[in-house]
Chain A
Amino acid sequence: MRISNGLTVNTYLRNLDNIQNSKYKNEIRLSTGKNIVNLADAPEKLVRVKNMDFLIAENEKYKYIIDQSIREMQASEDKLQSISDKIGEIRQLAVDATHAGAAGNTYSIGVYVRGLLEDIIKDANADFNGKLLFSGTKSTVDSITHEPPQSNKFPFEIVQEQSTPDNPSGLKIYFKGNFEDRIINKDSKSSEKINVTADEMFGSGGIEFFENIIKVYNVLAYNPDGSPRQATDPLSKFDVEKLNDLQAKLAVTNENLNNLTAQISARRNRMENISSQMSEEVIRYKELKTVNEDTDYAKVIMDLRLEEIALQYSLQIGSNLLQKSLMDFLS
C-alpha cells in the first residue's frame, strides 16, 4: 500500500482522537463512579437499573410507612395495656367491696372506681403525635362534633345526666368518633389496618364496657333505692350478686382487651418482620444495581493507565514520525 502524507497524518490524528475519547470516558467513570455515562452505553442495563431504583424506592417507602405505623401501634398497645390494668383494678375493687372487712368503705371504693373510669376515658382519648388513637377516621379533635349535653371535642366523654332508677348516678358515656379502620399500604399488594376501633375495644357503640363500670359505680355509691350510699349502708345480697355479675362481665371485657393487645402485638411483630425483610431486599437490590451501574474501579484504572501510556508514546512517536521527511536530508 502506498503511504501518503495525508494517510499518515489522518490515521495518526484518528488514533489520537480514539485514545483521548476513551480516556475521557474512563475519567468520567472514575469521577462519577458510574459505568453508564450515556444512555447509548448500555440501554438494557439502564432499564434494569431503573427498575432496581423503583424497587429500592418502593421498599424504602414501605419500610418507612411500616416503621411509622409500628410506633403508633405500639402507642395503642400501651394504652390498651393501661386500660386493661385499670379494668383489673376495678374488678379487684368490686371483689374487695364484697368482703366483710370493706363494709364501711363501699362508697369510697365507688368513688375510686369513678376515678378509674375517668382515667380510662383519658386513655381512650389518647393521641399519638396529634392523632386520636381510638376514634376511627375521625382522628382529630376538629373532626369531632358534639351536641348538648356533650361539652367537649374528645371522642369519649363522661356526661352527668338526670339520675334514673336504673342509673342513679346519671353518668353516661358518649362516643363521638366512628368505627372506621385506618389502613396503610404495607407493600405493593397488601394493606394493613393500624388502628383499634372503639367497638372492638369497648363493645357495642364503643360504650358497652363503660356502662358496666358505671353500673359498678352505681352499686357501690348508691343504695338500691337510688340514694347515695352512706358508710353505714352495707351491700345487700342483691348488690353483691350484681357486683359479681358485673365483675364477671368486666373480666370478659378485659379478656377481650388482652386479646386485642395480643392481636396488635402480633400484627406489629409481623410488620417488624416485613420491615426487616424489606431492609434486606433493599440491600440485595442495591447489590444488583451496583453490578449493573457502578464503575469497576480496578478495570477502569487499568484501562486508563493503558490509555495514558498509549497516548504518551503516541505523542512521542508521532512528533518524530511527522517531522522527518526526505526533504530534511536534501542539501
Chain B
Amino acid sequence: MSSFSALEIGKRALLAQRFGIEVTSNNIANVNTAGYSRRSAVLGESSPLFRNGQFIGTGAVAQKLRTFREEFFDRELRSTVARHSTFENDEKIFQRIEAILAEPSELNIHNDLNSFLSAFEELAIKPEDIGLRENILSKAQTLVEKLNRTSEQLSEARNELATQISLNVNQINSLLAEVANLNKSIANSKTLSQTEAQTYVDQRQLKLEELSKLAGVTVSFEQDGSANVFLNGMNLITGSNYNELRRVDLNNSASGEITIAIEIYDKAKDLATRVTPQNGELASNLKHFNETLDPLESKGFSIVKQLDDFVDALAQKINQLVISGYGLNDKTSPPPGRLFFEPSTGRITAATIKISDDIKNSPENLPFSKNPGEPGNAEIALAIGRIAQDSKFLQNQRPYEFYSAFIGKIGTLSREATTGKDTTRLVAEQLSNQRESVIGVNTDEEAVNLIRFQKAFEAASRIVTVTNDLLSTVINLGR
C-alpha cells in the first residue's frame, strides 16, 4: 500500500463527509417545506484491497441517499383527509344555511309564523277593527318577505355550489395533469439523481393529498414508482396518461329538476363515464347541490323542498278557508272568493308566495266572516288561528312541530358534520404526527449530524495534510 493510497482514502472520506454535509444542509433548508421528507446520507466502506494475505480498507464512500417516506401513512392520511374534507365542507355549508334561516335566533321564520297566526286569533276580539286587520296584513307581509328572502338566499347558495363544483373540477384536472407529469419524471428517475427523484415523490404525495381533499381518490403504485389514481374505481391516471373530469348539467324535462353529474372523459377513446365521488369537497358540493338545496329533490332530505312544502301547506290551508269568507263590506251572497296568498294556481313556494292583490291594500276585504254583512263574525279568522294547532298540518305534525323537527334535522346533520370533521381531524393529526415523526426534519438532530460530518471532514482533511507531509518528507529524502 502506497502513501498515495492514504491520500486516496482521505479524498474519498472528504467526498463522503461533504455528501453528508450536503444532505444535512438540504434537510435544514427544507425544515419548513410542506411535504418534504427528510433524507440521510448512508456511508459505507469502500471495497477493500487484498494485500499480503489481508484485506485492507480503502476508506468510505457515500453509498446512497436514504428516504423515510412510508406509503402506509401516506395512504391512511389520504383517505382520512378525504373524509375530513367532506365533513369540513358539509359543516361550512350547514353553517351558511343556519345563517340564512337565522337559526338559532329570535329572527327566524318560526317566530314570524307564530306571530302571523296569532294575529288571526287576536282579531277575533274585534274582527271589525281595521287596525287589527292591518296588523294581520303587516305580519303576513313580514312572513312573506322573510320566506322570499330565505328562498332567494338558499337559491344563491345553491348557485354558488354550482360554481364551486366547476372550480373543483378545474382544480382536479390541473392536479391530475401535474401528478401524471410527476409520474413521468419518477418513472424516468434512473436518469435523475436520487435527490431529484425523491423530490418528485414528495411533490406528488402533496398533490395526491390535495386530490384526495377534492375528490377522495384511491391510489396504487407501479413497479417504476408511478402512481395510478382511481375515482369510484374508474381510472383517472395511469402512469403519465390521465383522463379529465367534466361537469354535466342534467335537466329532468318531466319535473324541471336541474342536477349536476360528474363524468370521467377519456379523450383518446372519446368516452365519458359517469362517476359519483364519495368523499372530498367535490362529493360534498355535489350532495348539497343535488339534494340538500334542490327544490325538487324527491328522495333525500332537501331543506328547500321541506321549506316549500311547509309554505305550500300553510298557504293552501289559509286560502281554502278564506275563499268562502266575506269582508267587512260584503253584504250579500255569494262570497267574493278572495284568496289570501298567491299564486292562485299550482304550488305556492317560499320563492313565489305573495299576498293576494285583492286584500294587500284593503284590510276591509280580508274575508274572515262566515256570513255576509256580519263584521263581528270571525269564524274564519279563528279557524286560521287554529292552523297553529292542526295536528294534520303536514306529515301528521303541527306547524311548529314540523318546523322544529326541520330545524332539528338541520342541526343534527350539522352536528354530524362537525363531529365527523373533529374526529377525522384528530385521526388525520395523529397520522400526520406519526408520519412527521418519521419523515420530519429535526434541526437539533441535523445540527448534530452537521457537527458529526464537519468533524469527520476535518479529520479527513488531516489525513490529506499528514499524507502530504509524509510525501514531502519522502520526496525530500534524496536532497
A interface list, Cβ under 8 A from B: 1-7, 10-11, 14, 34, 36-44, 46-47, 49-51, 53-54, 57-58, 61-62, 64-65, 68-69, 72, 129-132, 135-140, 142-143, 145, 178, 180, 182-185, 188-189, 191, 325-327, 330
Tell me whether A7 and B437 are in contact in the complex, defined as CB-CB below 8 angstroms, given that A137-B375, A143-B374 are known contacts. yes
Apart from A2-B437, A180-B371, what 19 extra A-B contacts exist at CB < 8 Å? A2-B442, A4-B442, A5-B31, A5-B440, A5-B443, A38-B95, A39-B103, A41-B415, A43-B411, A47-B407, A47-B408, A54-B114, A137-B374, A139-B375, A140-B128, A140-B376, A180-B376, A182-B376, A185-B124
Instruction: State the CA gap A183–B378 with chains docked (Å).
Output: 8
| Chain B residues within 8 Å of A47, by CB | 404-405, 407-408, 411
B380-418: which residues lie under 8 A (CB-CB) from chain A? 382, 385-386, 388-389, 400-401, 403-405, 407-412, 414-415, 417-418
Closest 10 CB pairs of A and B: A4-B440, A43-B411, A139-B376, A39-B411, A137-B376, A40-B414, A137-B374, A326-B447, A137-B377, A47-B408
B147 nearest CB across to chain A (Å)? 18
Structural contact, A39 and B98, CB atoms closer than 8 A: yes
Query: In this complex, what residue of A is CB-closest to B383?
Result: A185
- Taking the complex as formed, is B88 at the interface, i.e. its CB lies under 8 A from any CB of chain A? no
Residue B448 interfacial (CB < 8 Å): yes
Is B125 an interface residue when CB atoms closer than 8 A count as contact?
yes
Closest Cβ of chain B to A198, distance in Å, is 13
How far, in angstroms, from A305 to B401 measured CA to CA in the complex? 39
The distance in angstroms between the C-alpha atoms of A180 and B369, with both chains bound, is 12
Of B215-223, B285-293, B340-348, B428-436, the one contacting chain A is: B428-436
Q: Which of A4, A145, A182 contacts B436 (CB 8 A)?
A: A4
Check B407 against A7 for contact (C-beta < 8 Å): no
B: number of interface residues (CB 8 Å): 69
Q: In the complex the two chains form, is B376's CB within 8 Å of A325's CB?
A: no
Q: How far is the CA of A53 from the CA of B331 in the complex (A)?
A: 40
**How far apart sit A1 and B437, CA to CA, in the bound complex (Å)?**
7
A4 to B410, CA, bound (A): 42
- Whether A58 touches B388, Cβ cut-off 8 Å, given contacts A47-B404, A50-B400, is yes
Question: Is there contact, CB below 8 Å, between B110 and A10?
Answer: no
Which residues of B47-80 are within 8 A (CB) of A?
none
The total number of A-B Cβ pairs within 8 Å is: 200
- Do residues A61 and B110 form an inter-chain contact, with CB atoms below 8 A? no
Cα–Cα, bound, A58→B400 (Å) = 11
Nearest chain B CB to A2 CB, angstrom units: 5
Residue in B closest to A139 when the chains form the complex, CB atoms: B376
Q: In the bound complex, how far is the Cα of B104 from the Cα of A42, in angstroms?
A: 11
A178–B376 Cα distance when bound, in Å, is 10
A325 vs B445: C-alpha distance in the bound complex, in angstroms? 10
Assess whether B111 is interfacial by the CB under 8 Å rule.
yes
**Could you tell me the distance between the alpha carbons of A230 and B371 in the complex, rounded to whole angstroms?**
51
Q: Report if B444 contacts A (CB, 8 A).
A: yes
For A44, the chain B residues whose CB sits under 8 A away are 408
Q: Does the CB pair B441–A136 fall under 8 Å? A: no
Docked CA distance A68–B429 (Å) = 63
Contact A39 B441 (CB under 8 A): no
Complex: chain B residue closest to A43, CB-CB: B411
Query: Given contacts A50-B407, A65-B124, A143-B375, are A7 and B440 in contact (CB under 8 A)?
Result: yes
A69 to B123, CA, bound (A): 11
CB distance from B253 to the nearest CB of A (A): 36
Is the beta-carbon distance between A327 and B388 smaller than 8 angstroms?
Answer: no
Q: Are B440 and A72 in contact (CB under 8 A)?
A: no
B74 CB to nearest A CB, Å: 15
| B residues in contact with A57, CB < 8 Å | 111, 114-115, 118
Assess whether B244 is interfacial by the CB under 8 Å rule. no
Q: Are A185 and B104 in contact (CB under 8 A)?
A: no
For the complex formed, measure the closest distance between the CB of A14 and the CB atoms of chain B, giving whole angstroms.
6
Within 8 A of A (CB), among B131-171: none
In the assembled complex, B379 has its CB within 8 A of some CB on chain A? yes
B266 within 8 A of A: no
Return B24 CB to nearest CB of chain A, in Å.
12
> In the complex, what's the smallest C-beta–C-beta distance from B407 to chain A, in angstroms?
6
Known: A51-B404, A327-B447. Contact between A7 and B389, CB under 8 A? no
User: Contact check: which of B389, B437, B447 meets A325 at CB < 8 Å?
Assistant: B447
